[in-house]
Structure 1
Amino acid sequence: MRHLPVLFSAALMMASTATAAPHVVASVVPIHSIVAAVMGDKGSPELLLKGSMSEHRAVFTPDQIATLGTADLVFIVGHGLEAKLAQISGSEAVNGKTFIQLSDAPGIIKLPVREGGAWEPDDDEPAPAAGSEAEGVLAFDPHIWLDPENAKAMAREVAVDLGKADPENAAAYAANALAFAAETDKTSAAIAAELAPDKGKPFIVFHDAYHYFEKRFGLTGVGSISDVSAQAPSAERLGQVRDKIIAARATCVFREPQFDDKFVQAVIEGTGAREGVLDPLGAGLTPGPKAYDQLIGNLAESLKGCLGG
């Protein structure tokens, strides 16, 4: 894995690992949950993006930037996911710190950005600013945590990084990563059984965030209102999505709590498609070690509720 360097504070270097766990920050709820599970009772990570803030559009406050500057380890997905966060990585505002990108972890499955039909952005949609991290979205779909196998790979990497920062507790971190993997396997098996009857039922999502989940569980997403980086859709794209709903006889169109549902209402009117809600970030969950399994379980429940309704 290509690591991005992290500069540790002098205070941490002088402190005993027995008395002070690393100060750890994680970007979004699912990553925070994985890190919290690996840390266990050795410490608690701090969550940067709280509530219904979009990972793609988040703008950071001075207090949040200060938190990044005092952290020993900062875990992010990277490669276009937290676009605004990438812009301040390595800056003086965060003491020159750059962050550990978990999308670089060994064993991560990476899927391409989908194109063709309703997946393909049209010419009217705004392009990412030149030189921005959002350009990295084009390399692969950054919503990697929605494949549970990727979550397990990230947990292993978090354990390695925590073990380097806190060698005294390295064995505990490794054991916690194994426990996380075992629990995630149980949840994945339950989801696979729950969604098995709904394979082949076409649906539309708000933005193209669910490729990993669909592929892992054999689901049939056929288009998205917005693209992989949640750019506002053009009128032309909305027309394409509406046509796709009708042609594919899509059962459901899913909105997200992070975004206005006006676009969903526009495309489903008169089509007979039902409206559902999917939350890829876990905005309504209590952050912590159980949030990841709750997040993917809630996705399954929402899909089942609409597709089987």
Structure 2
Amino acid sequence: MNFRLHTLLATTALAAAAGHAGAAPRVAADILPVQSIAARVMAGVGAPDLIVPPGASPHGYAMRPSEARMLGDADIVFWSGNGLAPWLEGPIESLAGDAIVLDLTQAPGVRLLAFREGATFEPHVHDDAHDHTEGAHDEHDHDEHDHDEHGDEDHAHEDHAHEAEADHHHEGNDPHIWLDPENAVAMAEAMADVLATSDPDNAETYRDNAASFQEDIANLETEISEELAPVSEKHFVVFHDGYHYFEARFGVEASGAISLSDASTPSAARVAEIRDRIRSGDITCVFAEPQFDPALIRTVIEGTEARAGTLDPLGSHLTPGPDLYPELLRNLADNMSSCLAGE
């Protein structure tokens, strides 16, 4: 790849080259949560642009001309990585080849969790987590974390047999890293470092904003932990396996996922396995997502005592900006708690 992947080991000269004297760097962020964190870090200096609009899938999106121009004008691109938005790699290379690209999955301190296998999950200790404390990826090579199937458009059109087989071969790391608030803090610190190097006149502001964000998130993490503690033993099923980070951080754990990912259609065998799990009688809630038809949720809970709830991992109906990320976490906690508690 020809674009410059910044891993915080890049030279000061590399980052400074993107700066504009007297002006804040032009920043593009791929998804709402990333844009929100970046907006918090840039508060008082500038505002990041958003590439994937609210309600659109980050797994496969065709940019409008205005969005392509915005990406082309960017000095810095904050990207959730190839696992979440593989389609963006080409446009970054062709349109933003001179920009600094921060792959947030490679940011120092970001903890990665492996995808879980199968439709139903067994409780386990999260010893498969690892972080990027060294940030040492000088080349854009994600072979060891390859999850092309997560965003492969063809995957949604495979026959049921192939989908069932894929359920047992969904390897690599879960890309929904922002759902662990401590990952979000690491992301903010990495953003501040890139921005401070590119724009030294405002370095103190970026780093102060990141420190303030860390303090606020620590307080929020405590609040959410207290809210979810009473329902931590409840069993639930999610629409797709995108909440692993949130679960691991707050001591709750899904019993299964209807879909392999939000970019694929579940096989008949997978749906049947989930229905059997729900009919076992210990599933309290099954959570839909606002971007998808809830009919499948109604189907799998029909004839059971399980309740339907909604979780939104992207904050698609929230107002973009610095307040979106904490509101997203609060909404996840509130919706999960209320459904599991039967409120």
Give me the TM-score of the superposition, normalised by structure 1. 0.88
- Structure 2 partner of 1:99: 101
The number of aligned residues is 296
Cα distance in 1 for partners of 2:298, 2:62 equals 27
- Structure 2 partner of 1:132: none
Percent identity reads 44
Cα distance in 2 for partners of 1:210, 1:222 equals 12
Q: Deviation digits for residues 156-209 of structure 1, max 9, x if unmatched?
A: 000000011101111111111000000001111000001100011010011111
Give SS of 1:220's match.
coil
Contact residue 276 and residue 302 of structure 1 kept, 8 A:
yes
Match of 1:3 among 2, 6, 9: 6
Contact residue 193 and residue 207 of structure 2 kept, 8 A:
yes
Give the 3 Å change call, closer, same or farther, for CA 248–123 of structure 1 in structure 2: farther
Q: Deviation digits for residues 111-169 of structure 1, max 9, x if unmatched?
A: 111014435998432999xxxxxx9x832111010000000000000000001110111
1:124 aligns with 2:162: yes
* CA displacement at 1:43 relative to structure 2: 0.4
- Structure 2 partner of 1:242: 275
After TM superposition, which residue ranges in structure 1, 4 or more long, deviate above 3 angstroms?
A: 4-10, 93-98, 119-123
Contact residue 7 and residue 97 of structure 1 kept, 8 A:
no
User: Root-mean-square deviation (CA), in Å?
Assistant: 2.6
Give the 3 Å change call, closer, same or farther, for CA 96–266 of structure 1 in structure 2: farther
The residue type equivalent to 2:114 in the other structure is P
- Structure 1 partner of 2:40: 37
- Structure 2 partner of 1:23: 26
Cα distance in 2 for partners of 1:81, 1:178 equals 27
- Structure 2 partner of 1:262: 295
Give the 3 Å change call, closer, same or farther, for CA 263–87 of structure 1 in structure 2: farther
Contact residue 119 and residue 208 of structure 1 kept, 8 A:
no
Give the 3 Å change call, closer, same or farther, for CA 142–154 of structure 1 in structure 2: same
Contact residue 226 and residue 232 of structure 1 kept, 8 A:
yes
* CA displacement at 1:261 relative to structure 2: 1.5
- Structure 1 partner of 2:222: 189
Give SS of 2:93's match.
coil
Cα distance in 1 for partners of 2:6, 2:310 equals 36
Q: Deviation digits for residues 195-233 of structure 1, max 9, x if unmatched?
A: 100011010011111000001111020111111453111
1:170 aligns with 2:203: yes
Cα distance in 1 for partners of 2:103, 2:45 equals 22
Give the 3 Å change call, closer, same or farther, for CA 154–127 of structure 1 in structure 2: farther
The residue type equivalent to 2:255 in the other structure is V
- Structure 1 partner of 2:309: 276
Unaligned residue ranges in structure 1 (runs of 5+): 129-134
Contact residue 75 and residue 100 of structure 2 kept, 8 A:
no
Match of 1:88 among 74, 88, 91: 91
Contact residue 76 and residue 100 of structure 2 kept, 8 A:
no
Cα distance in 2 for partners of 1:127, 1:162 equals 44
Cα distance in 2 for partners of 1:24, 1:211 equals 29
Contact residue 15 and residue 100 of structure 2 kept, 8 A:
no
Cα distance in 2 for partners of 1:87, 1:80 equals 14
* CA displacement at 1:8 relative to structure 2: 8.2
Pick which of 208-217 and 44-53 moved more: 44-53
1:304 aligns with 2:337: yes
Match of 1:199 among 223, 232, 245: 232
Pick which of 291-300 and 76-85 moved more: 76-85
Give the 3 Å change call, closer, same or farther, for CA 175–8 of structure 1 in structure 2: closer
Cα distance in 2 for partners of 1:228, 1:117 equals 11
* CA displacement at 1:97 relative to structure 2: 4.9
1:233 aligns with 2:266: yes
Q: Following superposition of structure 1 onto structure 2, how do residues 63-78 of structure 1 map, counting pairs within 5 Å?
A: 63-78=66-81
Contact residue 15 and residue 194 of structure 2 kept, 8 A:
no
Give SS of 2:334's match.
helix
* CA displacement at 1:9 relative to structure 2: 11
* CA displacement at 1:96 relative to structure 2: 6.1
Give SS of 2:255's match.
strand
Contact residue 110 and residue 144 of structure 1 kept, 8 A:
yes
